[in-house]
A = this chain, B = another copy of it.
Amino acid sequence: MIYPRVGVIGTGLIGGSFALAAKKAEAIGHVIGVARSEATRQKALEIGAADEVTADPAEVVAKADLVYVAVPVGAMQSIFSRISDVAGSDTVITDAGSTKVQVMAAARKLLPDHVTFIGGHPLAGSEKVGIQAARADLFAGCTYFLVADEENDRDELARLMELIQALGAEPVLTDAERHDRMVAATSHLPHLLSAVLSTTVGTMVGGEPDAADFIGSGFRDTTRLAAGLPELWRDIFLTNDQNLARTMAAFVRQLQQFGYALRNKNHDQLEQLLNEARQWRQELDK
């Protein structure tokens, strides 16, 4: 048992799956789940993602060895403010936010110095959301980024990495700036384009009575991410806006290359561009 008592603030898809996976691996003991909605709290108890529930984040912090904060990145600051006073000197706090620079800054600013805060980001998720979509294998085979300030206790970091491994994920240490820059390209840009594509196709053909006949697996795959929760992704984009803007600019430059080749009916250039894209896909999806 790595952490006998754990508080999970935000028992949604990520928080709920974390609790299910860690309990299944017997890496954690008693779980106190925190959720604003009564229905979510009941569901968390029902599926075994929590042994005890409350609506008050502060309440669990005093009681827990590990506090797992799995709320949207836009809500992190308010959670940190609310738990700051009650966090004891042996409390370890981690989060599961998709961006890390602003979360780390908020933790440094709002949490007391005696607290060990280690940032986290499981590269897992789904367009499905909420505790009803939680499952014990959500993190299996995923990368799980950890961001530790230098002053962090190395023992606590090792302990947390052990927990991550128990979830079936691969812990990867990184720094917040690099993390946000990389995921802007590999995760946030795909999400943004998926949304833009969905609206483009919708506004172009969505009004036709037989539009659904023309929808195949290509559209479905490329727009799956567009089904994600708008509030969640709004916050992710806004807390990584500079990096995201850079990836968008790079994307537009590449798009222009395809546009030129198409306008000039340049067979060779078009094939070369498609070849390059295919090679990158093979290179990156290993």
Closest B-chain residue to A199, C-beta based? B277
User: Which of B201, B228, B279 is within 8 Å of A186, CB to CB?
Assistant: B201
Closest B-chain residue to A241, C-beta based? B262
Q: Are B267 and A238 in contact (CB under 8 A)?
A: yes
Q: Are A124 and B198 in contact (CB under 8 A)?
A: no
**3 closest Cβ pairs, A-B complex:** A202-B280, A195-B277, A230-B274
Report if A46 contacts B (CB, 8 A): no
User: Which of B123, B219, B220 is within 8 Å of A214, CB to CB?
Assistant: B123
The answer for the CA separation of A204 and B247 in the assembled complex, in Å, is: 8
The answer for the CA separation of A205 and B243 in the assembled complex, in Å, is: 12
Taking chain A's interface residues, is the majority helix, strand, or loop, or is none over half, making it mixed?
A: helix
User: Which of B123, B186, B220, B248 is within 8 Å of A285, CB to CB?
Assistant: B220
Report if A211 contacts B (CB, 8 A): yes
What residues make up the interface of A, taking CB atoms closer than 8 Å to B? 123-125, 142-143, 145, 170, 172, 182-183, 185-187, 189-206, 208, 210-228, 230-231, 233-234, 237-238, 241, 244-245, 247-248, 250-252, 254-255, 258-259, 262-263, 265, 267, 270-271, 273-286
Closest B-chain residue to A227, C-beta based? B281
**Chain B residues with Cβ under 8 A from A226's Cβ?**
274, 277-278, 280-281
Q: Are A208 and B231 in contact (CB under 8 A)?
A: no
